[in-house]
Amino acid sequence: MTADLTSARAVIDLAHEVVGTATRVLAGGSIDASQVLAYDLAHAAAAVETGRAMLHYGEKGDTEADMACAFVADAIADLAAKLYGREAEWGVEPSALDEARGFVTTYRDPVFLAGLAFIEGPRHLDDDFELVQDTFRRFADDKIRPAAEHIHRFNEDIPEEIISGLAEMGGFGLSVPAEYGGYSEGGESEYIGMVVATEELSRGSLGVGGSLITRPEILTRALLAGGTEEQKQSWLPRLASAEVMAAVAVTEPDFGSDVAGIKVRAVETDGGWLINGVKTWCTFGARANVLMLLARTDPDRSKIHRGLSMFVVPKPVGHGHGFEFLQEAGDGAPGGGKMEGRPIDTIGYRGMHSYEIAFDNWFVAADNQVGLDDGLGKGFYYQMAGFENGRLQTAARAVGVMQAAYEEARQYAQDRVVFGQPISDYQLTRAKLGRMAVVIQAARQFAYEVARMMGRGEGLLEASMVKAYVCKAAEWVTREAMQIHGGFGYAEEYPVSRYFVDARVLSIFEGADETLCLKVIARRMVDNIK
């Protein structure tokens, strides 16, 4: 069969019209009053944009065209399921997608999908990025994978040799500008390099590899957005070299995605600030040398996010099973401050550990308030600058986890004999593997496309879309990979069970899926047509 990209474009255009119509319906009312529509619309729009990226990919060869058509058909079928019985709510006719029916029938055919089971498709990276991929893949295979399962099963800390090895490769300086000791020259190469490296590290392990470079990435971008020149000179070279490892302390027990409502206070004192309150879900909080902490510096809560400032909070290094530090007097600190970290046990994403951290008069020097006087009340915006790229990076982490799960499922299917033949010979298994390969490549290509956009100073909406689409897709891919393993998929001795529980966190952190869809994607889509 020769893939029909012309029809694929027409089908994507049709889906785009449906999304546009529903967006206008949403704009005429209230997102909060139509949350189910807004949520489904955000995911539909993300799938359509992923389809557009795959059409570009499909132009590069026959295999690529087959995969592009398979993805577009899958995306349209998913959109049709969202519409069925709710056409009036979306503002469209029941026949809105009828013209796509033949295309979907052709490219969702089980025989066609089964033919893609063992075809991953080329990535079409430039030579420089192929080198990045090879370098980080070798490190993941040689250093991360051998340690990942033990760390997961016994909830251990990440070995220091992995941190130092990644530092030697420059993994912590990918987004630090060269003038501050990093490897970033700006532009799209910075973003694509980060995406490629993150995928390969996450293929080794989400918690032990891919997420290690996320925290310094977030703090780096926050400092670039609001730090003084002295602060950049002080912190960025040490972040790039891993002399300083960072954690992010933003979320609170009562305030997760609703960051503007946070309660942790920073009260000015001689020579600096005293921090009081509780942060939660502070990943890597024990091992980190500093916390990127968002606190309320203006007691007037009516100022909401405009009363928040950001701090770089130095701390001693602790271990993964909890810590308690008492601050001695000196270097401007009055002494007596306390920081206590309680570990939060999780079903997956182990190695970095997450903590609830309580601060009791913990002193932070005035020089560590990001932006100094010019940064007071701007911490929310610096935090957002750090998190915007974090969404793209999270998508890359999801692609890495999916790729690892697909590889395990493919190999197991070839090795496992049931009823006299390998299960890879069965149509159902092959169709599953084919769809998995298509979804992974589509997610990857959309991440590359968003990276190029962000390199041009664009793509903030698309960064949220790629995070929403890819992280949800990772749950399906890892679930199916586990299912292909049968009973062994449920056994901890096979890494696919780890991929499954790791994937589950992806739609929760860096912006919970519901909040991301309602408060960011749907809202920006509505704003774009007003």
Over the chain (530 residues), the average pLDDT of each successive run of 10 is 88 97 95 96 98 96 96 97 96 96 96 95 94 96 95 92 94 92 87 95 94 90 95 96 95 70 91 96 94 92 85 91 90 90 92 93 97 94 86 95 98 94 96 98 98 92 95 97 96 94 91 91 91
Q: Which among 224, 222, 244 has a CA at the least distance from the CA of 184?
A: 224
* DSSP symbols for 84-108: TT-HHHHT--TTTTGGGHHHHHHHT
Structure tokens at 522: 């749907």
Give the C-alpha separation, 211 to 245, whole Å.
12
Report the SS3 class of residue 421. strand
Quote the CATH superfamily of domain 246-373: Butyryl-CoA Dehydrogenase, subunit A, domain 2 (2.40.110.10)
Taken as a whole, the chain contains a residue count of 530
Residue with tokens 């992280």: 471
Report the alpha-carbon distance of residue 454 to residue 221 in Å, rounded. 13
What is the reported pLDDT for 319?
79
State the burial class of residue 122 (Cβ atoms within 10 Å of its Cβ: 0-12, 13-18, 19+): exposed
CA distance 203 to 284: 20
Both tokens of 249, joined, read 């302390």
Interacting residues of 344 by C-beta distance below 8 A, sequence separation 6+: 280, 281, 353, 354, 355, 356
CA distances to 234, 271, 482, 490 from 410, rounded to whole Å, are 48, 60, 11, 17
Radius of gyration of the chain (CA): 24
Q: What is the pLDDT of residue 199?
A: 97
* Helices and strands, counts by H and E, the chain: 19, 10
Q: Look at residue 74 in the predicted model and tell me its pLDDT.
A: 97
Q: Taking the mean position of all CA atoms in its chain, how far away is CA 503?
A: 10
Catalytic residue among 340, 449, 480, 510: 510
Active site residue 510: yes
pLDDT of residue 330: 84
Closest alpha carbon to 218 in 245, 180, 188, 189: 245
Sign of CA dihedral 224, 226, 230, 236: negative
Return the pLDDT at 500: 97
pLDDT value for 206: 95
